[in-house]
C-alpha cells in the first residue's frame, strides 16, 4: 500500500503514512480477520438502515449489499488478500468493497465509526462463542448423565482431603459435575443476556447527527435493544470480561475433573480406563498408557485464566471513551474461547468413552474405615447415644481395627463390645458399603434412588 492510500484511509490530517514499526504495532488484521463475518453482517444491517432512513439511496444500498456478499465469499473461499497496511478487518473489507463496487462504498461509513463498528463486531463474535460454550456444556452434561445412569448403583470411595471419607455411588460423583457444569452453562446464559445490546450507531463516542434508526440495526443483528449511552457503547468490554469470567470458572471445573481422571487412571487407583482415543504411550516404557488429554486440559486452563487477568489489566486504567489499548482485547479472548471449546470437546469425549472398574471401585469403597460415620450414626440412632459420645466410641473402634490390621466390618462382636457393651450383631448391617450408600436418602444424597431421580430431572431439563 502506498502512503497516499494510507492517507486516504486516515483523512487529510496526516502528511505521510506510518513507518514500518508504527504499522506493525498499530495493525490488528493478523487476528481481527476472525471478525470478518460479523463485520460484514454489521455493515449489511447498517446499509439497509441508511437506505430505510433515506440517508443513502436504495440503489447504493443494494450495490453495497451485493458487494459485501462478494467480499464475504472471497474471505470464506480463501482468496481474499488481507493487508497489514490497511490495519484492521474494517479497513480491509471497506478497501476491497471499493474495488468491487466503486464510489458507493464510500457511503457505507455514514453515521458510524470504527469505534462502534468494532464494538459491534466483537460483541457479535463473543455472543456466538457464548452460544458455542452453552452447546458444548450441554454435550458434556449429557455424557456425564450417561455415566451416572449406568453407575447409579456402583459403589466407590468418597474423599475429603483425598483421604477415604464415606462410600458414595459412581452416579452421585458424576452428578456432582453435572451440577457444576450446569452452573457454568447458566453463567454463559446470563452473560449472553447482558451482552445482547447493540453498540452500532454510537459512532465515535457521541452518537451522530444523521437520523439513523439504532433500533432497526439492533433488531437486524439479533440484539434485544441498542445500548443506551454512546460513551459506554464504544468503551464497554464488560461482555468480553464476563465471558472470560464464566470461561475461567468453567475451566476450573474442567481442570478439577481432569485431575481426577489422571488420578483415577493411574496404576495405584485403577478406578477407570480411558480409551485409546484420549491416551498416548511412552517412547521408552511399553507398559505406559498416559492420560495426555486430561493433562493437556489441566494445562490449557492456565491460558484461560491468563486471558481473564490480561484483559482486566488492559481495561483497568482507561478513561472514557475509546482508547487504542482496546485493540488488545481480542487475541486473549480468541485464545481463551478456542481453548475452552477444545477442553470441553476433549472432556466430553473422555467421559463418554471411559470405562469404570466397578470391582475395583467397590473394593476401594470399603477400605480406609469408610463406614465409620455409619457406625457412629447407628450408635446414635439405636443406642440413643449423643453424637459426640458416639464419635468417641467409633474412634476407639477404628483405632482397635487399625491395631489389628483389619477394617471395621472385620472386627468381632466381642471386640466391639469390649469398647461399648451395648453394641449388638445388628451393627454389621450398616457397615457394608451398599447399605451405607442406600441409607443416604436425604435430598442431594448418594443413594441410588436419589441419583436416578436427579438423572431423570436433568435429562428432562436438557431435552
Give the active site residues.
161, 282
Query: What is the Cα–Cα distance from 131 to 129, expressed in whole angstroms?
Result: 5
DSSP characters for 321-345? S--GGGGGGHHHHHHHHHHHHHHHH
Closest to 400 (Cα-Cα) out of 388, 376, 417: 417
* Residue 82 grid cell: 488481507
Query: What is the Cα–Cα distance from 336 to 344, expressed in whole angstroms?
Result: 12
Q: How far is CA 368 from CA 46, 331, 387, 445, in A?
A: 67, 49, 21, 21
Would you put residue 96 in left (φ > 0), alpha (ψ -120 to 50) or beta? Answer: alpha
Q: Which helix (H) or strand (E) holds 30?
A: helix 29-32
Closest to 96 (Cα-Cα) out of 77, 124, 69, 58: 69
Query: What is the Cα–Cα distance from 277 to 255, expressed in whole angstroms?
Result: 19
Tell me the CB-side half-sphere exposure of residue 186, using CA atoms within 13 A: 7
In 197-298, DSSP assigns E strands to: 197-198, 225-226, 272-273
Amino acid at each position: 500500500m502506498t502512503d497516499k492510500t494510507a492517507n486516504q484511509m486516515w483523512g487529510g490530517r496526516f502528511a505521510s503514512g506510518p513507518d514500518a514499526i508504527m504499522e506493525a504495532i498499530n495493525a490488528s488484521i493478523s487476528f481481527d480477520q476472525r471478525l470478518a463475518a460479523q463485520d460484514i453482517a454489521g455493515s449489511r444491517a447498517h446499509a439497509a438502515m441508511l437506505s430505510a432512513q433515506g440517508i443513502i439511496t436504495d440503489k447504493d444500498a443494494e450495490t453495497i449489499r451485493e458487494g459485501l456478499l462478494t467480499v464475504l465469499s472471497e474471505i470464506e473461499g480463501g482468496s481474499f488478500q488481507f493487508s497489514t497496511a490497511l490495519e484492521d478487518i474494517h479497513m480491509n473489507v471497506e478497501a476491497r468493497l471499493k474495488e468491487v463496487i466503486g464510489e458507493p462504498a464510500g457511503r457505507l461509513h455514514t453515521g458510524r465509526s470504527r469505534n462502534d463498528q468494532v464494538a459491534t463486531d466483537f460483541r457479535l463474535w463473543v455472543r456466538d462463542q457464548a452460544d458455542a460454550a452453552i452447546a458444548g456444556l450441554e454435550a458434556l452434561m449429557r455424557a456425564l448423565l450417561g455415566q451416572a445412569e449406568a453407575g447409579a448403583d456402583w459403589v466407590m470411595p468418597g474423599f475429603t482431603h483425598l483421604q477415604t471419607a464415606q462410600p458414595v455411588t459412581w452416579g452421585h460423583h458424576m452428578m456432582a459435575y453435572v451440577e457444576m457444569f450446569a452452573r457454568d452453562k447458566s453463567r454463559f446464559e446470563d452473560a449472553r443476556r447482558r451482552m445482547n445490546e447493540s453498540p452500532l450507531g454510537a459512532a465515535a463516542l457521541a452518537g451522530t447527527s444523521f437520523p439513523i434508526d439504532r433500533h432497526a440495526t439492533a433488531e437486524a443483528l439479533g440484539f434485544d435493544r441498542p445500548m443506551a449511552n454512546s460513551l459506554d457503547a464504544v468503551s464497554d468490554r464488560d461482555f468480553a470480561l464476563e465471558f472470560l469470567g464464566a470461561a475461567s470458572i468453567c475451566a476450573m471445573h474442567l481442570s478439577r475433573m481432569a485431575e481426577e481422571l489422571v488420578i483415577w487412571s493411574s496404576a495405584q487407583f485403577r478406578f477407570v480406563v480411558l480409551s485409546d482415543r484420549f491416551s498416548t504411550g511412552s517412547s521408552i516404557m511399553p507398559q505406559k498408557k498416559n492420560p495426555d488429554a486430561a493433562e493437556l486440559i489441566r494445562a490449557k486452563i492456565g491460558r484461560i485464566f491468563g486471558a481473564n487477568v490480561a484483559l482486566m489489566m488492559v481495561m483497568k486504567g482507561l478513561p472514557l471513551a475509546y482508547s487504542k489499548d482496546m485493540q488488545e482485547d481480542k487475541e486473549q479472548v480468541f485464545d481463551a474461547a478456542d481453548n475452552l471449546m477444545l477442553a470441553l470437546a476433549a472432556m466430553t469425549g473422555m467421559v463418554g468413552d471411559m470405562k469404570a472398574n466397578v470391582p475395583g471401585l467397590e473394593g476401594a469403597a470399603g477400605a480406609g474405615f469408610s463406614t465409620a460415620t455409619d457406625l457412629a450414626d447407628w450408635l446414635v440412632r439405636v443406642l440413643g447415644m449423643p453424637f459426640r459420645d458416639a464419635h468417641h466410641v467409633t474412634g476407639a473402634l477404628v483405632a482397635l481395627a487399625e491395631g489389628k490390621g483389619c477394617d471395621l466390618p472385620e472386627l468381632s462382636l466381642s471386640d466391639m463390645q469390649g469398647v461399648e457393651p451395648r453394641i449388638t450383631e445388628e451393627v454389621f448391617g450398616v457397615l457394608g458399603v451398599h447399605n451405607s450408600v442406600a441409607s443416604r436418602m436425604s435430598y442431594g444424597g448418594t443413594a441410588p434412588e436419589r441419583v436416578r431421580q436427579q438423572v431423570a430431572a436433568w435429562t428432562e431439563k436438557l431435552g
